[in-house]
């Protein structure tokens, strides 16, 4: 019998302290979310999924900063990130950050070379979030 894997969905202002691999999705589009759900079946262990969406009206910027410092991986959809644009460079400085953008005129690759075109590339790049 195979063990059923568990995905913990965590949003502001909550945190979860355990040994599961953790990923922070920052402003994922609906397509990003669908792709993430599609690859979740290939996860090899339980995972903590932190979700930040800037359309949430409460003040969550400090939570985002705190969580970004603690998770194993970060995915940022820069095209969806308007209110937190001031945090873009800081989020990209982490070696654990992957980002998606269609803004080819912006030189994000100077700060971070982990540009991706879909969520599958992120999952494959980190062996489906095994830590």
Q: What is the pLDDT of residue 42?
A: 81
Q: What is the pLDDT of residue 121?
A: 82
CB under 8 Å to 94, separation ≥6 — which residues? 68, 74, 112
Q: What is the pLDDT of residue 131?
A: 44
CA–centroid distance for 72 within its chain: 9
- What is the distance between the alpha carbons of residues 82 and 55, in angstroms, rounded to a whole number? 10
Q: Give backbone dihedrals phi and psi of 96, rounded to 5 degrees, phi first.
A: -90, 5
So what's the architecture of 7-125 in CATH? 3-Layer(aba) Sandwich (3.40)
Q: What is the pLDDT of residue 130?
A: 59
Q: What is the pLDDT of residue 44?
A: 82
- What is the distance between the alpha carbons of residues 63 and 54, in angstroms, rounded to a whole number? 12
Buried b (16+ CB within 10 A) or exposed e, 75-101: bbbbebbeebeebbeebbebeebbbbb
Task: Provide the residue ranges of all domains of the chain, joining segments of one domain with +.
Answer: 7-125
Q: What is the pLDDT of residue 1?
A: 47
Q: What is the dihedral of CA 116, 122, 126, 129, to 10 degrees?
A: 160
Q: What is the pLDDT of residue 129?
A: 58
Low-confidence ranges of the chain (pLDDT < 70): 1-3, 57-58, 105, 125-131
Q: Which long-range contacts (CB under 8 A, 24 or more apart) does 66-69 make?
A: 66/15, 67/15, 67/24, 68/24, 68/94
């Amino acid at each position: 019998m195979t063990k059923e894997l568990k995905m913990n969905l965590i949003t502001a202002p909550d945190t979860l302290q355990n040994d599961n691999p953790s990923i922070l999705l920052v402003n994922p589009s609906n397509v990003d979310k669908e792709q993430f759900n599609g690859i979740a079946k290939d996860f090899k262990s339980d995972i903590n999924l932190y979700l930040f969406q800037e359309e949430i009206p409460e003040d969550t910027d400090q939570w985002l900063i705190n969580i970004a410092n603690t998770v194993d991986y970060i995915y940022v959809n820069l095209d969806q990130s308007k209110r937190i644009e001031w945090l873009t460079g800081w989020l990209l400085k982490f070696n654990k950050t992957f980002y998606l953008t269609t803004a080819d005129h912006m030189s994000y690759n100077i700060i971070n070379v982990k540009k991706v075109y879909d969520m599958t590339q992120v999952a494959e790049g980190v062996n489906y979030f095994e830590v």
